[in-house]
Every structure is written in C-alpha cells, then in structure tokens.
Chains A and B, each alone.
Chain A
C-alpha cells in the first residue's frame, strides 16, 4: 500500500517504511545506539530527498532519546551540569549547522556534504569499533578474559582554562571541553540528521573521562534538546520535516527496539561491537562507492523553489 508523504512529496510503500523503522529499531535495540546514522542513509536510498531525510530523522531522534532518558534519570545517571554545558555548545553548534545546511543547499552541495560527513565520521568510528571488537574477541580467546584499559589519559586539553567541578561525574575539568564537544556534535547532528551519540559517547568517555554509567544518560539528555533545536530550525528555515514519515518510522522503530533490546541482552559485548562496526563500515562503504562511481547520468534535475 502506497502512502503519499506530504513534505518529501513522494509515494512510498507503507509496509516498507514500517519494515525500515522496525529493522533499524531492532538494530538500535541490539546495539544500544540511536539508529539515526542507519536510518538517514536508508531513507536516502529509497528516494527521500536528503534534506528531508536529515530533518525528519532529527525529529525521530527526539522520540527515541526521550524514551531512553527516563530510565537513566531514575537511576540518577544524568549529570545535569555537564549536560547543560554540552547543551549550550550543542545549541550554538546545531544553529550554525542548520545555517550551514541551508547555505550548502543553496549551493547544490548539501547531498555531497551529507555523504562525505557519513563516510568520514561514521567510517572512522566504524573502523575503530571493528578493530577494537576484533582485538577484544581475539584477546579473550587467548587469555580467557578481557583486560581492563586505562580509565583516561591526561592530554593537552586538560590544561584549558575555566575549570569547573562536576560532582556527579567526579571530574575537575575545563568547561570549554564539554562546550567544544557539544558544539562539534551539534554541527554534525544538523548536517547528518543523527543524535550524535556515536561521536558524543566516545568523546565523553575518552576525552572527558566521564564514568561510563553517567555517559549514556547525560548524552541522551543533551541529544533531546539539540535534536529539538535542529527539528525546529529545519522546519522553520527549510520546511523539510515530514511528520507523517517521522510517525511511520517511529511506530516500526519502537516495536523493533523492544525486540532488539532482548536479543542484545543475550549477546556478548565484544561481538556486538564487532558486528556494529561491520554494519557501519558497510553503510559507509556504500555511500563512498556512490561518490566514486561515475553516475549513469552526469546531469540531474532539481526542482527550483
């Protein structure tokens, strides 16, 4: 059954949309990730204009983050001070990001930048995850148990000014650090239509040195507001948020995530990381090939506004 999406202005099979939502929800449940980085490229593959895919996915990120943040909040795993500073950076970053998006769209280069951002950022993270997964699986086979790494290292950025005490995370670091990370992830979430968890979570663990338990709740808290900001600005500036598409994807992803969480609980962490790494590298590989292979028609049509 076809459904006409009012903002994307295309007809798509409703079963396909539900299946996509379900599939990505399943994976995000298994791996405990947002899934935006998978959904946006898939939406583009099925013919949703990239600008609409990115903005609509930002809207979806709000929903999935909200449903996740409650549980962490109740356990006291949200560092609100850290969250607010990340958020201030995120707000400024995502506002500039949407501005950049609009500008690149007017230049006709937004599709290229979306694709390149995916290939560079997601590809790097995916490769690292894959390597780390392989290492961990290999190591466990040899020694029979995973060894613990260092908590965090001291780098140049620990010498930055404006130091603040973050009691919940038991940290005394420069406020510029979470601000900068929030800013960077804000720009990315505006351009890539992702929550940014895949950058934010490793950055909070490895750069800020936050306790892992605190990271997920705090990042979700920040992501909700940044995604809301992106949704609002995309809707207001570019009219690219498709609520019908968002709702249909949501139904599938809520159900899929429920099943996925149960499967994920039964699997080993290292294997999960390896599989997720492979998945991410495959998605990036496809996007990268699209950039390298000569298109069938060098000319493409764009409806002028």
Chain B
C-alpha cells in the first residue's frame, strides 16, 4: 500500500511531461486492444514495485511481474528503459599502441531492454507483430541511418553496440522465464543491474495467439536515485561551481583533522 502511494506520488510529481505522454499513449494503445477484443481476452499484470530507488547500498534489483490471462495463448513481457544516445568507440593499433581510432553515435535507442516470453519469440509472434511493437533487438531502432554507415560496416557497429550492452546487463537476451502457476496466473522476474540507467521505464505485457497480439498492458516503472546520493548528483550538476568549493572545503577540513591526529600520534 505504501509503495503504491509512493509510486503514485512519484509518477505525479517527478516524471517529465514527455514520459507521461508516452505512458498515456502506451496505455491508450493497450486499451485499444481491450476494446477491440471484448470477449474474454483480458490480460492483467502488475509489478512487485513501481519504483526502483537507487540508494547508497544499491547493487542491482530484481523486479517481479505477475499477471493473468483468462484464455490460452502465449505471453511476451518487454521491459524498456528511457531512450538515450550511445557512443561506441573502436580501437585500432597506432604505432604499437591500441587507441580509439573511430567512433559512432547511436541516437535514441533504449537504455535498457529485456524480454521474457513463454517461448522463442520468433515462434510465438509474427515478424510484423514484432516490428510494430518493437519486440526483439531487431526492432528497436539499432540500425544506423545509411548516411552514417551502410552494409557490413553498419552491421559491425550495431553488433558492437549490442554486444557491449548485453555484457553490461543493460540489454538482456530473450529468455523463456515466464512461469505459469496453473492455467491463468503467470509470473516472471527481471534483473536490473547495479549501473541501471535512471528514468521512466515501460513494462509491456503482450498476450498472443497465432502470432498475433490479442491484448496488451503497459505499466510504468520508475528508476530513480533517491536520498543523499541523488542530492549529491543533482547538486554536482546544477550547482557545479559551488559543489567544487564545498569539495575543496571538505578536503581542507579533513586534511586539518588528519594533521591533528598525526600530531597526537
């Protein structure tokens, strides 16, 4: 109950307008499916928590998603972080030393992406469905515009980005970790790594039959820095000069305290 209130408050006050619009659009999109499929096709789902707080002791988190479908079918869960830009650096050998020799910027790609499903997504969904709903690594805009790179070169940059994101845990390979408890109830867990990007995530749950989506739900998940750490980060970025002065004062005072200890010892 308390966490619900917190997440509500958080959603009301801390989420930017664009994020709210995205969530509203996603909810509208999913309710379209609900309306178009009136008979018993409803899917319900919720998260164990809608707020992941990055506090002093944060070392990653597991989020539990549970839900129910009231007719047979397959389920795909997509967790998508806020879009961001990534820069990939490529090293080359110059005079015997490995240094960055080329870089490529990927704009507006998900900062986090994880899929859970009841089976291999190629088998339980049609490619058109996946393309339309941005399901799978091939459908989330990792392709470079031809003006930047084309053909094999573009592929090697894309593969490098994907490989690095998979290694850091920002992207997670499709797994079939959705567990059914009886006929209707299902649950799955996904892991947020320690360096999880902050922002508003969308967790979409799709109910599929014959490769087509028959119902969907999208629920938001907020990942944000909370507490002293968040305040320090904000202060360092909003009042950079003052932060520098404070850092100097702290160092001066602790050096002086150190001197006092040394003198006694």
CB contacts (< 8 Å) of B254 on chain A: these are 63, 247, 250, 254
Binds B, one of A83-91, A230-238, A275-283: A230-238
CB contacts (< 8 Å) of B244 on chain A: these are 231-236, 241
The answer to whether A285 has its CB under 8 Å from any CB of chain B is no
CB contacts (< 8 Å) of B72 on chain A: these are none
Name the residue on A nearest B156 (C-beta). A299
* Docked complex: A57-96 residues within 8 A CB-CB of B: 59-60, 62-68, 70-71
B252-265 to A contact mask, C-beta < 8 Å, 1/0: 10111111011101
CB contacts (< 8 Å) of B257 on chain A: these are 254
CB contacts (< 8 Å) of B161 on chain A: these are 299, 301
CB contacts (< 8 Å) of B3 on chain A: these are none
* Docked complex: A277-303 residues within 8 A CB-CB of B: 291-295, 297-303
Name the residue on A nearest B159 (C-beta). A299
A303 to B97, CA, bound (A): 24
Per a CB cutoff under 8 Å, which of A7, A11, A63, A235 touches B233? A7
Task: Check A236–B240 contact: CB distance below 8 A.
Answer: yes
The answer to whether B133 has its CB under 8 Å from any CB of chain A is no
B229-265 to A contact mask, C-beta < 8 Å, 1/0: 1101100110011011111101110111111011101
CB contacts (< 8 Å) of B168 on chain A: these are 301
CB contacts (< 8 Å) of A116 on chain B: these are 97
The answer to whether A161 has its CB under 8 Å from any CB of chain B is no
Tell me how many residues of A have a C-beta within 8 Å of chain B. Answer: 57
CB contacts (< 8 Å) of A295 on chain B: these are 91, 98
Name the residue on A nearest B194 (C-beta). A11
The answer to whether A151 has its CB under 8 Å from any CB of chain B is no
A47 to B253, CA, bound (A): 28
A60 to B251, CA, bound (A): 6
CB contacts (< 8 Å) of B99 on chain A: these are 109, 112, 291
Q: Please judge, given known A-B contacts A299-B88, A304-B85, whether A63 and B100 are in contact too, CB under 8 Å.
A: no
Task: Check A62–B251 contact: CB distance below 8 A.
Answer: yes
The answer to whether A269 has its CB under 8 Å from any CB of chain B is no
CB contacts (< 8 Å) of B229 on chain A: these are 4, 6, 244
Task: Check A258–B265 contact: CB distance below 8 A.
Answer: yes
CB contacts (< 8 Å) of B243 on chain A: these are 235-236, 239, 241, 243
A73 to B241, CA, bound (A): 30
Closest beta carbon of chain A to B191's beta carbon, Å? 14
The answer to whether A162 has its CB under 8 Å from any CB of chain B is no
A81 to B163, CA, bound (A): 57
* Docked complex: B165-206 residues within 8 A CB-CB of A: 165, 167-168, 194-195
CB contacts (< 8 Å) of A235 on chain B: these are 236, 240-241, 243-244, 247
Task: Check B88–A300 contact: CB distance below 8 A.
Answer: yes
Task: Check B233–A67 contact: CB distance below 8 A.
Answer: no
The answer to whether A10 has its CB under 8 Å from any CB of chain B is yes
A-B contact pairs, 22 of them (CB 8 A): A2-B58, A4-B54, A4-B55, A11-B60, A59-B251, A60-B251, A62-B248, A232-B248, A236-B240, A239-B243, A244-B229, A247-B250, A254-B257, A257-B262, A258-B265, A291-B97, A298-B92, A301-B87, A301-B88, A301-B89, A301-B165, A302-B88
- A interface with B by C-beta (< 8 Å): 1-4, 6-7, 9-11, 59-60, 62-68, 70-71, 108-109, 111-112, 116, 228, 231-237, 239, 241, 243-244, 246-247, 250, 254, 257-258, 261, 291-295, 297-304
Sample of 14 more A-B contacts, CB < 8 Å, known A6-B225, A304-B87: A4-B54, A4-B56, A6-B233, A7-B232, A63-B251, A70-B256, A71-B259, A231-B248, A235-B240, A236-B244, A254-B258, A299-B91, A299-B160, A299-B163
The 5 lowest CB-CB distance pairs between A and B, nearest first, are: A66-B255, A235-B244, A299-B160, A63-B255, A67-B258
